Chain A
Amino acid sequence: MAPSRDAVLARLLELIQPFNAKAVPLAEDTRFADDLEFDSLTVMDLVANMEDEWDINVPLNLLPDLETIGQVADAIVKLKAGA
């Protein structure tokens, strides 16, 4: 069964936390580049962890459109439903 969006978001926040070096408060509208200041290497690690957590492939082509935590949660739910 596909996980609920709430469950995805909760787990996503846990996955982001180890990379959140500046302890920025995390919310749906937190932006990866502007608020969390993630560089491309951090994004790479986080994406790989997300892929393994939900057993999905997150295509690189999607990444430019995923600016906020909420958008990533939506994308995971969608990828999980399609898998």
Chain B
Amino acid sequence: MTDLLAKFDSIRAEYDFLKGTGLSDPFGVVMERVLSPTRAIIRGRETILVGTYNYMGMTFDPDVIAAGKAAMDTFGAGSTGSRVLNGTFATHVAVEQALKDFYGTSSAIVFSTGYQANLGMVSTLAGKDDVILLDADSHASIYDGCKLGHAEVVRFRHNDAADLEKRLRRVPAGKGKLVILEGVYSMLGDVAPLRDLVAVSKAAGAMVLVDEAHAMGFFGPHGRGVYEEQGLEDQVDFVVGTFSKSVGTVGGFAVSNHPHFEILRLVCNPYRFTASLPPVVAASAEASIRKLMTATDKRARLWAASRRLHASLKGAGFRMATETPESAIIAVLMPTQEECVIMWSALLDQGIYCNLSRPPATPMGVYLLRCSLSSEHSLDDVDEITRRFVAARAATQALAA
């Protein structure tokens, strides 16, 4: 018998080695209690959370929690069904209406996770006679959507409009084309030059999908994302997003002004062959989205915290993944996997949780300590985070000496 798990032996060996070093396991963190959007108890200790994508701090918003509780009482714990059978409750219709109001679109479709939203949209929009052109740094859910579908898949160099234009030109005439972009790329936190990328896409007759998962709530006049900030609302055909970041719960969605967008409900397997979101989640998301429409104070605080963390870490001598703070993701480049893990572990000892990111999730084979800010981080929190980064670095240097 061939052991089907043997193919993972090298990864297992690497992971066992890491755990054998006595350092904390970066992939085994347990939140024993969550105190707020920015604080949790990890290993019995109060820890500042700087790696949760809880951008707008909605997880503990009293209105969001109240809406969820009311829905739980009214509709029960779960839907036990597909959206196209018994799984559409009033809560699901209401959250889709909230999305249409937020994005100003004629249609919105909610999926059970953000991953499934990309899986469903990408695999269903592009069929076997179509060509997908995707940015090389696209999220795994987009790559997996490509694998699930039957379209030809062509990759272009990250954020490179000239490279995309060349590849669009090589697509034979008559083929349908779908260009897939992201507003903010989640590893380095860099913002896409969507204006250039969308211009070459439209000139080539392609339809455009933009994933704005990491931009909802704080880019553009209405917080719709980078595409809104760059004035592309009448150019982008489909916007994909998630409830698991700024909205503060879980779920995914796509919005569009395409007159026939709703047909996707009947043909998209990751939409129809899974149970719908629990009503508590749908109702919480609806309350959150409606509050995000006017959350200008939160937005201002998030940007202030993000800019301050970038400036202070840079000032303390850390190597930043982006020259300037482009989004609410502030990533620190680490020279090697070993140094990255040691520093990550030292940060946890200091009461800081950030994300450790490594290839293949990261581009260019880089190792990152990735921070994401929340509107609920005060500027004092940010200064404390930087102090602890400096202390953790000193601890690791003492260890190495």
Contacts and interface: CB of A to CB of B under 8 A. Distances in A.
A51 B136 CA distance: 14
A30 B170 CA distance: 29
* Chain B interface, DSSP helix/strand/loop, else mixed: mixed
A40 B255 CA distance: 33
Contacts of A55: 166, 170
Nearest to A41: B365
A17 interface: no
Interface stretch (A1-9, A21-29, A56-64): A56-64
A40 B137 CA distance: 12
B379 interface: no
Given A41-B364, A41-B365, A61 B153 contact: yes
A60 B157 contact: no
A60 B146 contact: yes
B155 A60 contact: yes
Interface in B168-192: 170-171
B170 A41 contact: no
User: Chain B contact residues (Cβ within 8 angstroms of A): what range?
Assistant: 10 to 19
Interface residues of A, number: 16
A55 B169 CA distance: 10
A51 B167 contact: yes
Contacts of B154: 57-60
A83 B166 contact: no
Interface in A46-78: 47-48, 51-52, 55-61
B273 to A, nearest CB: 23
Contacts of B146: 60
B360 A57 contact: no
B365 A57 contact: no
Nearest to B168: A57
Contacts, number: 40
Interface in B106-131: 131
B196 interface: no
A33 interface: no
Nearest to B363: A41
Given A41-B359, A41-B364, A41-B365, A56 B170 contact: yes
B152 interface: yes
A73 B247 CA distance: 49
A48 B146 CA distance: 18
Nearest to B166: A52
A10 B174 CA distance: 33
B364 A60 contact: no
B167 A57 contact: yes
26 contacts: A39-B359, A40-B360, A41-B359, A41-B360, A41-B363, A41-B364, A44-B136, A44-B155, A47-B155, A48-B157, A48-B163, A51-B166, A51-B167, A51-B170, A52-B166, A55-B166, A55-B170, A56-B170, A57-B131, A59-B131, A59-B152, A60-B146, A60-B154, A61-B152, A61-B153, A83-B170
Interface in B133-159: 136, 146, 152-155, 157
A20 to B, nearest CB: 17
Shortest 10 CB-CB contacts between residues of A and residues of B: A60-B153, A59-B152, A57-B154, A57-B170, A41-B365, A57-B167, A59-B153, A61-B153, A59-B154, A40-B360
Contacts of B364: 41
A52 B136 CA distance: 15
A48 to B, nearest CB: 6
Nearest to A83: B170
A83 B170 CA distance: 8
Given A41-B360, A60-B153, 6 more contacts: A40-B360, A41-B365, A44-B136, A57-B171, A58-B154, A61-B152
Contacts of A56: 170
B145 to A, nearest CB: 12
A20 B359 CA distance: 20
A61 to B, nearest CB: 6
Nearest to B157: A48
Contacts of B157: 48
Nearest to B362: A41
Interface in B337-375: 359-360, 363-365
Nearest to A58: B154
Contacts of B166: 51-52, 55
A61 B141 CA distance: 16
Contacts of B152: 57, 59, 61
A52 B157 CA distance: 12
A74 B114 CA distance: 39
